[in-house]
Amino acid sequence: MTKTQNKKQSATKISASKSSAKKLSPHFYITTAIDYPNANPHMGHAYEKIVADSYARWMRLKGAKVHFLTGLDEHGVKLQTAAEEEHLAPQDFVDEKAIIFKDFCKKLAISYDDFIRTTQPRHEKVAQELFKQVFDQGEIYKGYYEGYYCVPCETYWTQKDLVDGNCAECKRPTQSLKEESYFFKMSKYQDRIIKHIESHPEFIFPESRRNEILARLKKEPLRDLSVSRTSFEWGITTPIDPTHVIYVWFDALINYVSAVKEAPLKFKTFWPADVHVIGKDILWFHTVIWPAILFSAGIDLPRSVYVHGFINDENGEKMSKSKGNVVDPMAVVDKHGVDALRYYFLRAVPSGQDGNFSEKELVARFNCELADTLGNLLSRVTKLIESSCNGILHNAVYADEIDVSASMRQADELMRTRHHNRALDVVWTELHRLNAYVNARQPWKIKGEEERNVVLYNIAENLRILSIALSAFIPDSAAALFTQLGADAEKQNFAAAEFGKGSFNIKKDRALLFPKIEYAEKRHFPLDLRVAKIEEVKDHPNAEKLFVLQINLGTEKRQLVAGLKQWYAKERLLGKHLIVLCNLKAAALRGVESQGMLLAADDENTVAVLEAPESKPGDRVFVEGYDTHGPFSTIDLEAFRKITLKANHENHITCVEYGNARLKTHRGEYVKVQHVSAGAKVR
């Protein structure tokens, strides 16, 4: 059999102009939102970076020169406060966090080209230049801001904007604020922004977010924007008044420009950005405030803003420390590998929509789709080539009995229109088709060497082409797949994604690419344990050995009665962050109600309270391997005494264990207890 001569090679190249509605630009500039490092990165950070990384890698495969930007938003009152709580200077605080976020990106295989920080001189210089430019045009003026300010969102609100007195975005309390401020004449650009969005349907994706912004712009007048603050110092000083710092959103958004503006050629090459990848909670800032700033500064708008949803827990509830349902992405990577998490996010979460994280579903997809569909196919073909051809199958005049190249054009169009999950669906459809081809042709039964080699080449060659596409999504696994096929690594790009360009030299020392994962259902932990701050300690009016404590649980305050008077003076308890059992049935102890129990360890010689000094009031305590986010049933004292919690020494620290698992808060701090021996029981 010979390879057909009427093959149109240009039709199979993804980089060809026919592969999309627009001719491929030789340059591609993609950004994530810059993260606010007041805490460690979470699932939402992981999802956004993985999505953006898949598009950056895809464009590199197509031959584009890519500039992929991520980084940190390091100014604002939130960070100043967080630094103060850690007893650090703000710059020292963000320097430490920058290391954590960079390591986070490395662990997720994020192939960024630039990591910008808004404390860097290159950014401060451009931010001040643009502020001055807008001011010189008469579009920034001094006034007074009076209204409400949400510190977590860094957002100003009027009275009518509030929802039950709280921030309309995050629903948390706001601060009443009145201070001198400079204002940007954003209201002037309302009609122009509407016109741009309507005439550029690709500017906001998905369409539902575009409609949301247009509806809001057409319903309510755009107000001028407060762009400076005097109530704190941690920010970029305005170039027009040294007593003011630039409002964090006027500062932060400019990072997309400052990252490429340091060199005129770089700016000319990459601006306007091709796509900003952001979460839906900052849609308004990127599609209204940012365009207004750029219009005023005379800078082209980005070509598109891709808006993704939130990552919730397996029940569709928002992850939060107070609920105890937070999942650490790094723990998932350590347990299952980076490509397991990347594949799950990119395949299971619909583009532009909210998604739920379920470890059980991740394991099921890994075992069924990666291990069975892809891994098993690789194992079968490499064993057959090794046994039939001594591991070598050179490119020759083999006919294409099956060719996945054409479907790669479909995947490319889906990536161009920001449907990465559907692009992966296309790849998996072809993998299923390739598996069906193997089962139908049964090369292990073919006697003739030439016919058998044709079939084996078709399997290996199409698997090679699909692995090129997969390298944008699961890069480590795709590289291992290429290696196991013995394919030419230099051809791992879309210019080589056509049938007949591959040759194979199978290596003998092949590891199983996707060893199956055993999933153990989490057991339910029956105790609602939370960190509480002791705010008041008084003597019990009717009992000599009891204290009456007033505690702060973050979202609520309670009263406890504790038998600690023999072991602790009042001042030793006051202000401590201790562990409270919150789902214990309330009871009256010598006439005073106790709404829970303060936990302590008792080794018959001394009693010591359980502590979590670095955690905050309301932080939940969890046990690895157990479901600790509730709902919790109320238990009585007898039921609690049947549950064994005990102290144990490890690395010079006395921790608390349930079974063989240590208790820790969702800040990663282990619950500790001092001055008791190992094995001391908690009561």
- 227-264: b (≥16 Cβ within 10 Å) or e: bbbeeeebbbbbbeeeebbbbbbbbbbbbbbbbbbeee
Mean pLDDT for the chain overall: 90
- pLDDT confidence of 177, banded at 50, 70, 90? confident
Q: Could you tell me if 301 and 384 lie in one domain?
A: no
Q: Could you tell me if 417 and 476 lie in one domain?
A: yes
Residue 325 scores a pLDDT above 90: no
Give a yes or no: residue 235 inside a domain: yes
Q: Could you tell me if 365 and 454 lie in one domain?
A: yes
> Across residues 427-440, what is the average pLDDT?
96
- pLDDT confidence of 175, banded at 50, 70, 90? confident
Tokens of 411: 């995947």
Give how many domains the chain has, as a whole number: 3
Q: What confidence score (pLDDT) does residue 154 get?
A: 66
Tokens of 427: 């790849």
Q: Could you tell me if 532 and 428 lie in one domain?
A: no
- pLDDT confidence of 152, banded at 50, 70, 90? low
Q: Could you tell me if 570 and 542 lie in one domain?
A: yes
Q: Could you tell me if 420 and 567 lie in one domain?
A: no
CA–CA dist 32, 112 (Å, integer)? 10
Phi, psi of 226 (to 5 degrees): -70, 125
Give a yes or no: residue 349 inside a domain: no
> Across residues 491-507, what is the average pLDDT?
89
Bigger pLDDT: 264 or 207? 207
Bigger pLDDT: 19 or 24? 24
Give a yes or no: residue 336 inside a domain: no
Give a yes or no: residue 16 inside a domain: no
The CATH number assigned to the domain holding 645 equals 2.40.50.140
Domain around 403: 356-505
Domain's final residue, options 455, 474, 505: 505
The CATH number assigned to the domain holding 446 equals 1.10.730.10
The CATH number assigned to the domain holding 75 equals 3.40.50.620
Give a yes or no: residue 342 inside a domain: no
Query: Is 302 within 8 Å of 274 (Cβ atoms)?
Result: yes
Give a yes or no: residue 511 inside a domain: no
Q: Could you tell me if 149 and 297 lie in one domain?
A: yes
Q: Could you tell me if 474 and 531 lie in one domain?
A: no
Q: Could you tell me if 95 and 244 lie in one domain?
A: yes
> Across residues 278-285, what is the average pLDDT?
96
Query: Is 31 within 8 Å of 79 (Cβ atoms)?
Result: no
Q: What confidence score (pLDDT) does residue 200 get?
A: 97
Domain's final residue, options 309, 344, 369: 309
Q: Could you tell me if 41 and 117 lie in one domain?
A: yes
Q: Could you tell me if 531 and 500 lie in one domain?
A: no
pLDDT in tens, 388-410: 999 999 877 788 899 998 899 99
CA–CA dist 279, 309 (Å, integer)? 6
Give a yes or no: residue 562 inside a domain: yes
Domain's final residue, options 309, 336, 365: 309
Give a yes or no: residue 331 inside a domain: no
Q: Could you tell me if 303 and 431 lie in one domain?
A: no
- pLDDT confidence of 8, banded at 50, 70, 90? very low
CA–CA dist 161, 159 (Å, integer)? 5
Q: What confidence score (pLDDT) does residue 668 get?
A: 79
